[in-house]
Chain A
Amino acid sequence: MAGPVLEMRSIVKTFPGVKALSDVTLTVRQGEVHAICGENGAGKSTLMKVLSGVHPHGSYEGDVLFEGETCRFKDIRASEQHGIVIIHQELALVPYLSIAENIFLGNEHAKRGLINWNDTLRHATELLRRVGLDEHPETRVADIGVGKQQLVEIAKALSKKVKLLILDEPTAALNDEDSGKLLDLILQLKEQGMTSIIISHKLNEIRTVADSVTIIRDGRSIETLDVKSAETTEDRIISGMVGRDLENRFPDRTPHQPEEGTAPALEIRNWTVHHPIDQQRKVVDDVSIEVRRGEIVGIAGLMGAGRTELAMSVFGRTYGRHAGGTVLRDGREIRTKTVPEAVGHGIAYVTEDRKHYGLNLIDTINRNISLTALGKVSKRGVVDEHGERQVAEDYRKSMNIKAPTVFEPVGKLSGGNQQKVVLSKWIFAGPEVLILDEPTRGIDVGAKYEIYTVIDRLAAEGKAVVFISSELPELLGMCDRIYTMAAGRLTGEFSRAEASQEALMRQMTKDKKDKEVSR
């Protein structure tokens, strides 16, 4: 095949306090489908943002060569002019505009500011035919499914004379049928000479469409494999994705000894949840898990596996539509239809998205901590400010929250310290069961260790902890038992002794194998 169309050489990208990319080299040949895979947070998206100009030239180190020329993109527009188009995981369509209007948004067929509708519709119809979407171009985007919206995105990319198409987890939100169609389309475009980069961690998908795969881990490109070669097995890719040495990054933990005869602190039975908008889609599919007092139970899964959805739907039905299943605390069935009910039954959910769902960023540390259990520092509906301050001071010391006073707005703290405030807030609520959703996401190693210590202490005090994470080493380092989830279903359960990164990753990348997806 032809030579390289894209070369990224020794890319280094630093954010304050975090090195997102420490050394990535990527070579994509003309006309191939190149997959990039790696764990969440490995740096895949950052790399694509460097390529597409979201992180402009000068904000990173290293060279980007496209068609033999060095690129100095200022912004996305600049990269699009060169024919590099990225389709993000979250679709960037305007729901209330028509398909045609969306395709040419910012790039309208117009003369002196007036849109030429004939040209627009004709051209849109052509593009829709090319991507195999059988919809009228004047249909509103809100009225078609996510799968078709994805196709509209691709049509939009094609309208921009795309030479290199980047798809960021294109099938994460799609059902099997739509995924299949999309993958077919990628292969079709390849036959027409299109080069694409596809970010995915669904291994069967990579095997179906990709010619080669580059594995990224901890901000480094590890290796590039030829997918068509017989040596490139799924196990080979998995070991590339996880193969990192476990340093001493976790507190020493005495493993939990299960007491026989007692009911689990929290048990979820046959839990099924539908997507809030696309009601055909099961986001959580018949999941049953349990956790005992003093136990730390991990839930491993990649993006879109349904872990957060499981947790939030149990915690006050704050996600999706409940479609069956029960929750038991200490063996008794409980109602958790509202957040106050769930909290009343001693359940706490620490969100993965602290900025949107965890904290009031414009308010102070003390007020954020006390919010979940204001009654504890109040008498007859009146908050005792001094008691509240004392509580916050105690947490500032015990959790080592680095802030000059507890009156500092939470928005000014670093990610690690914000996470400690969220944890403090929920520990203050006095729960018996804590569901921690990615508690160490986006924080530095030192703060991570402190958070592990806190989690360990909570378990030692007899709390039941559910630890959701996509970082396998931390699950292996912290958990007594680990469940794996993929595509909304429970795909495995491992004891501490049985669990290994490879074994977990194999279950996490299982894409409903029993249903036979590829054709």
Chain B
Amino acid sequence: MSTDVTAKTPAPAPPGSGGQATSGGLLQLVLHGLRGNMRQYGMLFALGLIVALFAVWTDGDLLLPRNVSNLVVQNSYILILAIGMMMVIIAGHIDLSVGSLTAFVGSIAAVFMVKHDLPWPIAVILCLVIGAAAGAVQGFFIAYGGIPSFIVTLAGMLIFRGLTEIFLEGQTLGPFPDGLLKVSTGFLPEVGPSTNYHNLTLLLGLGLIVFVVLREVRDRRRQQEFALDVPPVNLFVLKIVALVAAILVVTMLLASYKGAPIVLLVLGVLLVGFGYVMRNAIIGRHIYAIGGNLPAAKLSGVKDKKVTFLVFLNMGMLAALAGLVFATRLNAASPKAGLNFELEAIAASFIGGASMSGGVGTVLGAIIGGLVLGVLNNGMNLVGIGSDWQQVIKGAVLLAAVGFDVWNKRRVGS
């Protein structure tokens, strides 16, 4: 009998998956848990490895409090963009315009605040609205006009770059008002008794630890309530210890310098907020659904056009935010700002687990992917690798990350 034909056709259920995992050993259980999020866990592991590598290579310079603080600020705008880009890619699209858009918004901000002395809070709000509007226009052409996102945003990339140069008349415009700089490039304020550490940052870190632990415990309880398989206790404890340790290390590093940068706080809010939206909100589900199978989503009553439109509107707003952060960090708007930011954000998304065909990925993944690139940048700068070789290495990392994922999927047979 030719029973070996099964290899060629999709089997109903791969043997050894699911139910049997509970009876297997600890390792098997870990592997089972990892399988679904292989790329994300893999990249988290790779991130740890890269950090360790450069920490050794730079004789610990990488982990100096000052450098860690720098690293966060330096990468914040890419991370902000990566959050939006991840959602765009999950929806099955791409956005090439975000680099130009960050420059465009930066130039508008400079025109508002430097040339016309507009109060900075009003200028900031206007900039965010303009960014959202720019995203909305592109989203309109993509969702309702049916023009591929690649084309629309390629056009946007050229248009916004051109407009930036027009607004700035080819000049660099600065500086920004002190009030704004204090917020966008500043740190949390110093409060309480004088210790050797930054008190508010310590408090914040402590709060985060409590929050994370409580949430993990609550999730586990709920899973047990619903009679679902949960990882064994020792694995659970291990996970919590690792989480707490990671938060503690970062907190202590930041607290022994100037404290947590305000941008980090903003990033944290974005990560938690958008993570929550993508995981728990109806709109988040709809984004995954249209990226995963558009015809099926349409036939299920998902308003695909509206969702696509909103995803691009949101991307525009985040690009505006990134533009403000970037411009104030340089304390000037420049026509050449934000070059290749779109590529960094796209790379971060793919390293962090997005799929070219859409429907897959998480906001946290985008952050992890962005950090991998950020640490690579920073570490290579510290050890004196030129920007030429940096690009080669980053390209190789992107290829390796996605290549590993493709290979792994083929191996598992899903």
Contacts and interface: CB of A to CB of B under 8 A. Distances in A.
Nearest to B11: A16
Interface in A30-81: 58-61
Interface stretch (B102-110, B255-263, B286-294, B337-345): B286-294
Given A362-B292, A371-B289, A412 B414 contact: yes
A425 B297 CA distance: 12
Contacts of B101: none
A14 B13 contact: no
Contacts of A389: 226
A349 B298 CA distance: 12
B281 A414 contact: no
Contact of A374 (B5, B285, B360): B285
B25 to A, nearest CB: 18
Interface string B277-307: 0011111111011001101111111110000
A381 B226 contact: no
A443 to B, nearest CB: 11
Nearest to B14: A412
Interface in B338-369: 359-360
A385 interface: yes
A414 B295 contact: no
Contacts of A189: none
Contact of A359 (B19, B286, B293): B293
Interface stretch (A201-209, A400-408, A479-487): A400-408
Interface in A353-394: 356-363, 367, 370-372, 374-375, 378, 381-383, 385-386, 389-390, 393
Contact of A371 (B284, B302, B303, B360): B302
A445 to B, nearest CB: 15
B360 A362 contact: yes
A177 B266 CA distance: 68
A194 interface: no
B228 interface: yes
Contacts of B234: none
A343 B18 contact: no
Contact of A356 (B226, B288, B296): B296
B280 A408 contact: no
Contact of B18 (A15, A340, A363, A403): A403
Nearest to A377: B282
B196 interface: no
Contacts of B17: 404, 412
A304 interface: no
B12 interface: yes
A16 B9 contact: yes
Interface residues of A, number: 53
B296 A381 contact: no
Given A362-B360, A367-B285, A16 B301 contact: no
A367 B284 CA distance: 12
A351 interface: yes
Interface residues of B, number: 40
B299 A357 contact: yes
Interface in A382-435: 382-383, 385-386, 389-390, 393, 402-405, 408-409, 411-415, 417, 425, 429
Contacts of A415: 12
Nearest to B360: A362
B282 A413 contact: no
A289 interface: no
Interface string A336-350: 000110010000010
A371 B12 contact: no
Contacts of B13: 402-403, 412-414
Contacts of A315: 299
Interface string B1-37: 0100110110111100111000000000000000000
B229 interface: yes
Contacts of A414: 12-13
B333 to A, nearest CB: 37
A409 B285 contact: no
B222 interface: yes
A326 interface: no
Contacts of A382: 280-282
A361 B359 CA distance: 10
A415 B12 CA distance: 7
A446 interface: no
Contacts of B9: 15-16
A154 to B, nearest CB: 31
A261 interface: no
Given A16-B9, A16-B12, A404 B18 contact: yes
Contacts of B303: 340
Nearest to A18: B9
Interface in B97-136: none
A383 B12 contact: no
A3 interface: no
Given A403-B18, A412-B414, A413-B13, A16 B6 contact: yes
Contacts of A429: 301
Given A340-B303, A367-B288, A386 B11 contact: no
B2 A14 contact: yes
Contact of B229 (A58, A356, A359, A405): A405
Contacts of B293: 356, 359-362
A485 to B, nearest CB: 21
A390 B11 CA distance: 28
A292 B236 CA distance: 55
B291 to A, nearest CB: 9
Interface of B: 2, 5-6, 8-9, 11-14, 17-19, 222, 226, 228-229, 279-286, 288-289, 292-293, 295-303, 359-360, 414
The 3 closest A-B pairs by CB, nearest first: A404-B18, A414-B12, A360-B292
Given A357-B296, A371-B300, A374-B285, 9 more contacts: A14-B2, A340-B301, A357-B299, A359-B296, A360-B289, A363-B359, A386-B222, A389-B226, A390-B226
